[in-house]
């Protein structure tokens, strides 16, 4: 019988190969956040408006190794996703799981919908998860406090959610006297080093990143609470069968007076889920905010679940994920008609048509939009770096802290690109945009509306183009919304 390590290596290699094929061959273009991070990677700094610097350096290295294509931008994300599987295997072995359970633990996560669909996305989640899991591994192997602090620091350089790994550490310190060592203080200091680059960057700019995080957690205008949607998304992303076994493992572990070693993943997953799940009763919580729950939920599920049922669950998850990955190809060839609102790749579709459209346009000195998402897309798929002109009074973004149109494009001619994703009143939108842009240009002329993506043979995503002549160097007032 082939060893578990060989099976795991083969499975993770095939998944990595799938990720590279997806990024190279399928019609899954960059989503706005990926385009934003790519833009950051072209100007490496100590930190950025909405995130720490880790993702920018990851993409800079990824494109250095594999080029500036979509596949090149995502290359290291594919590698990181495979490494996460191996780290989960080591954690399972260090928790004294048997070899079969240690094999299924990483497979449950890596071949869940979130594991497959997230394995190639160039986002902050991959690096954060990898180093958070390495931190957990250092915790259960001793704990090795300085190493634990180092991995927390590296995790937080991608996403501050990495600091949640101090929660299982605190639980262990409370319950196990042997964990209370002087080196805990060293670990705390090392982990806090991740704050230094953002602190330096923010101190020079009025602390926008911290204000942004605060307003994300406690927004002035709260969206409706979504507890059912939040918990439902966690169950679907991990897959219902593993989610059921995680809940069962957590309930069984709670009956113990102290969490034994194999219960620690269940406690860690439960704490993280409780934090974000509790928040969802008061405001809208995005599904990926609790992504750190997923690998620990998988570890807990494998420790208690029927391996036969988990195997069937993994196979079904893989089949469904592969079907979802084919959606962009089938949509592009007009062989399916998924309603736009249910298309999970909708934010990544149509940019090839936008790119062709912009190449056909007469020469312009610069390109700009009214949202940071569209300005980021223009920066990758347009002929040159895009700008954001905040004519709608939206919240600040990374464009607020980059060289602006006023600094670089005064007295030049631009092309304004506006995205519409639902039926709109053409005349109303045109007149409003012309009125909004009028104070900043000598003349503004509507050039046309162009569908860039259709479903059921009906356009569902358009861009509107406006020719803007002789920019006067004025800008809207800086937004006070973070």
First to last CA, the chain: 57
User: Does 337 or 367 have the greater pLDDT score?
Assistant: 367
Summarize pLDDT for 163-179 with one digit per residue, the tens: 999 999 998 898 888 89
Q: What is the DSSP letter of 400?
A: G
Summarize pLDDT for 404-444 with one digit per residue, the tens: 999 999 999 999 999 998 888 889 999 999 999 999 999 99
Q: By percentage, how much of the chain surpasses pLDDT 90?
A: 73
Contact present, 389 and 440 (Cβ < 8 Å): yes
In total, the chain counts a number of residues equal to 482
Summarize pLDDT for 209-220 with one digit per residue, the tens: 999 988 877 776
pLDDT of residue 1: 44
Query: What is the token pair recorded at 291?
Result: 């992504």
Give the HSE-up count for residue 98: Cα atoms under 13 Å, Cβ half-sphere: 3
Q: Is 385 helix (H, G, I), strand (E, B) or coil?
A: coil
Q: Which stretch of DSSP H or E encloses residue 45?
A: none
Q: What is the pTM for the complete model shown?
A: 0.94
Q: Where are the domains of the chain?
A: 4-321, 350-471
| pLDDT beyond 50 at 138 | yes
Question: What average pLDDT does the structure give for the chain?
Answer: 91
Task: Determine the distance from the C-alpha atom of residue 32 to the mean position of all C-alpha atoms in its chain, rounded to a whole number.
Answer: 10
Angle formed at CA 110 by CA 316 and CA 251, multiple of 5 degrees? 80
Task: Over range 258-264, report the average pLDDT.
Answer: 69
Continuous H helices in 95-123: 99-110, 113-117
């Amino acid at each position: 019988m082939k060893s578990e390590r060989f099976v795991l290596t083969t499975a993770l290699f095939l998944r990595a190969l799938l990720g590279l094929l997806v990024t190279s061959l399928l019609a899954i273009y960059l989503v706005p956040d990926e385009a934003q991070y790519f833009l950051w990677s072209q100007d490496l700094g100590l930190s950025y408006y909405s995130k720490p610097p880790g993702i920018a350096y990851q993409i800079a290295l990824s494109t250095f190794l594999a080029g500036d294509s979509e596949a090149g931008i995502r290359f290291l994300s594919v590698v990181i996703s495979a490494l996460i599987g191996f780290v989960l295997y080591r954690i399972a072995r260090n928790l004294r799981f048997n070899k079969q359970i240690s094999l299924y633990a990483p497979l449950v996560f890596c071949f869940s919908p979130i594991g497959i669909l997230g394995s190639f996305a160039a986002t902050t989640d991959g690096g954060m998860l990898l180093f958070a899991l390495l931190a957990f591994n250092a915790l259960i192997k001793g704990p090795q406090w300085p190493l634990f602090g180092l991995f927390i620091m590296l995790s937080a350089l991608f996403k501050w959610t990495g600091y949640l790994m101090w929660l299982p550490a605190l639980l262990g310190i409370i319950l196990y006297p042997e964990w209370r060592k002087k080196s805990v203080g060293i670990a705390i200091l090392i982990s806090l080093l991740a704050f230094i680059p953002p602190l330096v960057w923010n101190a020079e700019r009025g602390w926008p990143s911290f204000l942004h995080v605060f307003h994300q957690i406690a927004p002035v205008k709260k969206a409706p609470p979504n507890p059912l949607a939040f918990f439902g998304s966690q169950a679907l992303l991990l897959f219902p069968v593993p989610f059921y076994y995680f809940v069962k493992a957590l309930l069984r572990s709670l009956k113990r007076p102290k969490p034994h070693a194999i219960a620690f993943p269940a406690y860690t997953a439960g704490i993280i889920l409780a934090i974000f799940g509790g928040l969802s009763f008061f405001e809208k919580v995005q599904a990926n905010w609790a992504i750190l729950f997923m690998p620990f939920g998988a570890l807990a599920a494998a420790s208690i679940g029927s391996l036969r049922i988990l195997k069937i669950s993994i196979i079904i998850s893989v089949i469904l994920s592969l079907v979802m990955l084919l959606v962009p190809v089938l949509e592009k060839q007009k062989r399916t008609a998924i309603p736009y609102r249910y298309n999970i790749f909708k934010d990544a579709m149509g940019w090839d048509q936008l790119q062709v459209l912009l190449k056909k346009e007469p020469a312009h000195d610069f390109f700009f939009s009214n949202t940071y998402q569209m300005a980021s897309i223009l920066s990758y798929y347009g002929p040159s770096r895009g700008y954001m002109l905040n004519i709608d009074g939206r919240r600040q973004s990374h464009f607020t802290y980059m060289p602006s149109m006023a600094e670089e494009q005064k007295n030049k001619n631009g092309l304004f690109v506006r995205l519409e994703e639902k039926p709109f009143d053409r005349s109303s939108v045109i007149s409003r945009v012309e009125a909004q842009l009028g104070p900043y240009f000598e003349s503004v002329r509507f050039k046309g509306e162009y569908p860039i993506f259709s479903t059921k043979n009906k356009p569902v995503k358009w861009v509107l183009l406006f020719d803007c002549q002789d920019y006067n160097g004025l800008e809207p007032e800086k937004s006070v919304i973070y």
